[in-house]
Amino acid sequence: MKEHQSEVQICDDGICTLARNAADAVESKMDGNYHSFGVIADRGGTHQEIEARAKKTSKSEGRRNKNEKESSTDSSSIVTTLHSEQDVNAFLSANDAVIIEFMTTWCGACKSIEEYYIELSKSNEVNDIKSAKVNCDKNKQTKKLAASYNVKSYPVFVAFKSGTISHRFDGADKGKLESTFERLGGGGGKNKKRGGRSKKKG
């Protein structure tokens, strides 16, 4: 019997990775569970059942992505898409403070933080912090680019100051993303910019 060779997407705690097949995914040590396109599959499921659920949910994701396109059309002018090492080098040369997100189209965690990344990018334009992203599964160049930055899960945010990496973090963590902008001299979300409701005195 031939072994299944399809790749399975695993998302856990805001970080997404790839398994070579359903068997590898089931054997992964993520509290006994994993999310494949947002669907939880446990160790009791067969390879066929797991892949069938993934395919079914993949179609739903495709329809949802189509509906979400309109809401994210303005992101292209705020978050620059980079396609190669040359693009990255040019972007870093042109800007002093930069944040680059390494993401993929299938990554649920990437989708969950996309709007907030755009929001922070917009609010920090005045602070001259420029945002970009690399779609790591687009082609060979972007895959090579991800490998050169040792990206093995998604999303990964890398901050640069004067062309040099200042820090990075893995996962769709809004708090860490805010902190990344702040370290580069920017601010947090809308609430923080307005003074921070949580600091309101009674």
Q: Which residues pair with 102 in a beta bridge?
A: 134, 156
CA distances for 106 relative to 8, 118, 190, angstroms: 10, 19, 28
Residue 161 identity (one-letter amino acid): K
Residue 38 identity (one-letter amino acid): G
Kindly report, residue by residue over 165-202, the tens digit of the pLDDT.
Answer: 999 999 999 999 999 999 999 987 664 543 333 344 44
pTM for this model (two decimals): 0.65
Residue listed under structure tokens 């920090």: 124
Residue 53 identity (one-letter amino acid): R
Distance CA 36, CA 10 (A): 5
Catalytic residues: 107, 110
Kindly report, residue by residue over 59-112, the tens digit of the pLDDT.
Answer: 555 555 554 444 444 455 799 999 999 999 999 999 999 999 999 999 999 999
